Amino acid sequence: MNIGSYTLLVARPSGNAGWLPRLGLGALAVAVLWWAARGSQVSFGELAKGLPWIGDFLARMTPPNWAFLDKLVVPAIETVQIAIWGTLLAVILAVPVCFFAARNLTPNVVVYQFTRQVFNVTRGINEIILALVFVAAVGLGPFPGVLALAIHGAGMLGKFFSESIEEIDQGPIEALRATGAGPIQTIIFGVLPQVVTAWIAVVLYRFETNLRQATVLGMVGAGGIGFELVGSMKLFQYRDTATCILVIIAMVMVADYISTRLRAWIQQGAH
């Protein structure tokens, strides 16, 4: 193979020796999929048997009870408020700590590993579990949902923030350090200008995710429209349930549209 003025000699596998590793990997993949299917009891036959029940459930949900919309205005607004404050607190918690989880800014390996594990723990606990803990601590209402989204979101954002810091150009950092700049000056003038655009974009995405999660947290008593959704299902008011689902879908679609436009606008401004 000729590349410019250089010649590369690529050895071709002789016989069928090159196929043996591929066959081994294929067999291993099949074995893992079979093992996972057995453990998770995947059964398309059971799904086929349950399709009539799903059809009956959907039939009971139609047509949606549009009169129920009046009762969903306040919970829908509450859901948006939960997502806003959950995202804001997550950013406030993640930003001061993420610099310690960036390998290129933290010379101490112990601090680096400890901060990384803190992020792993906070993002490894599901929002619903956190909401249950905070409901038991502070009572029913939207505030436990805010705290649950904030703690979980801090782990997610902290991980992304620190990884984006590790990918920055080290030239400005070294230049600032050579002039005698301290750590705070290095972060303000060397790090933040390179990562702020990506940070804003991921915060907008996190808000969109929090809005979806906030609709679920209401199911465990953490406020929002999810509380009305669960209540309607427990009372077998399936037409009201359909209305709740449609409102949730509309909220997510609007949030997705706004978030996508804002991210595109930010990225265009960065260029």
Question: DSSP letter string over 71-98?
Answer: HHHHHHHHHHHHHHHHHHHHHHHHHHHH
Number of H helices, E strands in the chain: 11, 2
Phi, psi of 182 (to 5 degrees): -80, 175
Three-class DSSP labels, 102-124: CCCCCCCHHHHHHHHHHHHHHHH
| Sole residue written with tokens 């029913």 | 140
How far apart, in Å, are the Cα atoms of 149 and each of 183, 184, 265? 30, 29, 26
Asked if 245 contacts 229 with a C-beta cutoff of 8 angstroms, the reply is yes
Give the contacts of 227 (CB within 8 A, at least 6 positions apart).
Answer: 75, 218, 219, 221
Given the structure tokens 């905070």, which residue do they identify? 134
Backbone angles phi, psi at 6, to 5 degrees: -110, 150
pLDDT at 13: 52
Percent of the chain clearing pLDDT 90 (strictly above): 10
DSSP-derived pairing of the beta strands 2-3 and 6-7: antiparallel
CA–centroid distance for 96 within its chain: 20
pLDDT at 157: 92
Domains and CATH numbers, the chain: 66-269 (1.10.3720.10)
Predicted local distance difference test score (pLDDT) of residue 12:
52
Which residues, given as ranges, of the chain have pLDDT below 70?
1-18, 269-271
